[in-house]
Every structure is written in C-alpha cells, then in structure tokens.
Amino acid sequence: MIRSRAAVLTVSCAPAPYAVSRPLQVVELGLADPSEGELLIEIHAAGLCHSDLSVINGSRPRPLPMVLGHEAAGEVTATGPATEGFAVGDRVVLAFVPSCGECGPCLDGRSALCEPGAAANTAGTLLGGERRWIADSGEQHEHHLGVSAFAERTVVSARSAIKIPDQLEFATAAVFGCAALTGVGAAINAAKIQPGESVAIFGLGGVGMSALLGSKLAGASRIIAIDPVESKRNLALELGASEVLDGGPSCAEQIRKLTSGGTNKAIETAGNAKVLEAAYAATARGGTTVTVGLPDPSQMLTIPAVSLTAEERTLRGSYLGSANPREQLPKLFAWWQEGRLPLERLISDRIDLDSLNEGFDRLADGSAIRQIMVR
C-alpha cells in the first residue's frame, strides 16, 4: 500500500462556478499495490475533458466517490504479476477503455466496445473487477474509466496502457489518450474521409481540433470549422481549416449555401443534440454525419426520417475513435513524429492538481481548448 494525493468527486451536480462550490477535493488516499495484470503509474500529465465535466455536472451519472481524470500519461513505477511487455521506467499513455483482447468485440477489432471493459468502467472498477483506492475511513473509492488520472499515482490494468515514443513529452502524450484518439479516429475510422472530400466540424475543443487534424491527414479538400469562441476559430484556421463559422442558428443553412448542398462528411463533438441536428442538416446527400459527443441522456434527436433513405444518408456514433488503441496509437505517434499531428498546439493551459475546479470552470465556459494538469 502506498499513498497518493488525488482529486475526489463525492457529490455530482454542484452549482457553478466550481471555483466556489469546489466539487473536486484533493485528499490523500491509500492506493493498494498493483495486482495481477496491473501497473502502478506515476502520473505526469492529465487532460481536462468534457467526459470528466459530465460526471461533475451529473449528466453522466457514475458511482461516487470517484477519483476523476481519464486522459493521461505517466511512468510505470511498479508492475504486478502477469504484466509481460511492461517494465519499471516505461513511459505510457492511458486509454479510457481497457480492452480485454478476448471478448467478441475485441476479437472483431472493435476494442471500444470491449464488454468487460465497458462493465468495469460503468462499475467504477479496474478491468479485473476490483478497486485500489482506499480512504483513511476504510471506504473504497471508484476508478474513472480505469484511469483516475487526477492524482500523483494511480493503479491501472496493463490493458489500459500503451508505450509512447521517447521524444514525446508527457503533456502532449496525454492528449493522445482521449482527444486525439477520439477526434482523429472519428475522421479516419468513422467518417472514413477520402481525399478531396469536404468536412464540417462542429465544436473546437480538444476532440474537435483533433478531428480537424485527422480530416487534413485524410486529405479533405475543404474543412469548415464551427465554434462560438473566436480564439478557437483562429486556431482552427492556423491548423488548416478552410473556413470558420460561429455556429449561429443559421449555421447549417450557411454551410449548405457555401458548399452547394452540404459537406460530404460532418463531425459533431459538442455533445449537444441540437448541434448534432445542425451537423446532420449540414451534411450533403449521400453523406455521413458522425457524432462523438455525449449529450445529457434526456436530450432527444429529431431528424427527417425519410432523408436516411431518400438521400442515402448515414448517421453514426464513434467511441474511442472506433479504434483499437493498441493499433491506432502507434500510427498517431508516427504522424506526430512526421509533424502532421501537432497536438502540442491544442494545449491552452498547464495547471496543477490543486487548480482543477478553476480548470473545469474554464472548460464549462468554452474558453480553454485543452488544459493539462502537469506534475
């Protein structure tokens, strides 16, 4: 058993601003030694993502108390039994779905849908079904998506860890774990963007910017990037967007006019059913609309049902970039090394473990792209 400071969420739905209500409390917890198939990780960097915010604001209910954070990179400092391929000192990024490698979806190459991985994530345990966080009261705390990265140290399943190149600094490496995997994967695996196609990207946070970079990598000829925040639109232009829009009520109509009927592909990353409706409306006949957002479960989507058939439209969701992180991440690392995936440009702020509540205020008001907790 070791000790680790960790940011714990005990109650969801705290009122904003979080700088005042302080839903995340940094406390010292016990952390049991890694068991079979598990690694002890020293966390060096962890991104603040909308999926953390969704647990804080209650739109994605999870068992509590929980140590949040699911986009992270760090160093292996101890290995449990049966962790072949990993050694102390390995630098790793963590994936937010542990893939067992043996269930039906894993064998079909759809690790994002790993059944034991999803069950463990919903239950707040590691892949092996157990919890390693123990408060001084003796109460166990939940793991967030098998990662729990807002901490000094964490224990993860080795099935959640992927080694990173030596040249990749931890803060940028963390971005690969959720934003890049999700956004680039949405563009290349889910939207399957082909050279010369047009794309509209709704929402320019870490995932949306990654989808933009992925669209460029795939050879999109025209990328329309949409976000109400001007600084994000400016960065999108620097990263290769052809045009930017502020996402007002006539946005879909504007895109249809600009492109004479809509874009071949549209990717929605805002996590809002109304934005998804706009993305669908901005997609051309025969086109594909992809969503990676996680709207509040109460939100319903309304689209003209006939359009699916009459216009041969495709509407699909994408989780974890519709990829196997173990196969996808090495490709993303190679693109980064070639300079084609400048994810460091997405990092807007570096903060410490004690400033997470203020960070989630900035995430909620849209003023930050990717904030990284660094240690």
Least separation in angstroms between CB 18 and Zn ion: 18
**Side-chain-side CA neighbours of residue 90 (13 Å):** 20
- Binding part of the chain for Zn ion, among 28-36, 167-175, 177-185, 222-230 by CB under 5 A, reads 177-185
Taking CB under 5 A as the criterion, the residue among 9, 29, 49, 184 binding Zn ion is 49
- Antiparallel, parallel or unpaired: β 370-374 and 38-47: antiparallel
- Binding part of the chain for Zn ion, among 98-106, 210-218, 295-303, 364-372 by CB under 5 A, reads 98-106
Of 178 and 199, nearer to Zn ion (C-beta) is 178
Phi, psi of 27 (to 5 degrees): -130, 165
Q: Does 106 bind Zn ion (CB under 5 A)?
A: yes
Taking CB under 5 A as the criterion, the residue among 24, 158, 162, 178 binding Zn ion is 178
Q: Does 45 bind Zn ion (CB under 5 A)?
A: no
- Binding part of the chain for Zn ion, among 16-24, 171-179, 191-199, 260-268 by CB under 5 A, reads 171-179
Q: Does 127 bind Zn ion (CB under 5 A)?
A: no
Number of amino acids touching Zn ion (CB under 5 A): 7
- Binding part of the chain for Zn ion, among 22-30, 51-59, 123-131, 298-306 by CB under 5 A, reads 51-59
> How far is the C-alpha of 216 from the C-alpha of 232, rounded, in Å?
17
> Which residues neighbour 88 within 8 Å (Cβ) at sequence distance 6 or greater?
76, 77, 78, 79
Of 4 and 99, nearer to Zn ion (C-beta) is 99
Beta strands of the chain (E only): which ranges?
2-9, 24-31, 38-47, 66-67, 72-79, 91-94, 133-134, 140-143, 153-157, 161-163, 198-202, 222-226, 243-245, 263-268, 283-291, 314-317, 347-351, 370-374
SS3 at position 41: strand
> How far is the C-alpha of 141 from the C-alpha of 144, rounded, in Å?
10
Of 181 and 282, nearer to Zn ion (C-beta) is 181
- Binding part of the chain for Zn ion, among 50-58, 228-236, 312-320, 336-344 by CB under 5 A, reads 50-58
**Are the beta carbons of 212 and 240 closer than 8 angstroms?**
yes
Looking at residue 168, the DSSP 8-state letter turns out to be: S
> How far is the C-alpha of 191 from the C-alpha of 8, rounded, in Å?
36
Count of other CB atoms within 10 angstroms of residue 311: 15
Cis before 65? omega within 30: yes
Q: Does 114 bind Zn ion (CB under 5 A)?
A: yes
Q: Does 369 bind Zn ion (CB under 5 A)?
A: no
Q: Does 29 bind Zn ion (CB under 5 A)?
A: no
**Are the beta carbons of 62 and 148 closer than 8 angstroms?**
no
Of 48 and 315, nearer to Zn ion (C-beta) is 48
Q: Does 6 bind Zn ion (CB under 5 A)?
A: no
Q: Does 372 bind Zn ion (CB under 5 A)?
A: no
Of 283 and 322, nearer to Zn ion (C-beta) is 322
Q: Does 103 bind Zn ion (CB under 5 A)?
A: yes
Q: Does 180 bind Zn ion (CB under 5 A)?
A: no
Taking CB under 5 A as the criterion, the residue among 100, 201, 323, 346 binding Zn ion is 100
Q: Does 121 bind Zn ion (CB under 5 A)?
A: no
Of 46 and 244, nearer to Zn ion (C-beta) is 46
The string over 242-263, giving b where at least 16 C-beta atoms fall within 10 Å of a residue's C-beta and e elsewhere, is ebbbebeeebbebbbebbeebb
Instruction: Kindly list the residues in this chain that would bind Zn ion in the complex (CB under 5 A).
Output: 49, 51, 100, 103, 106, 114, 178
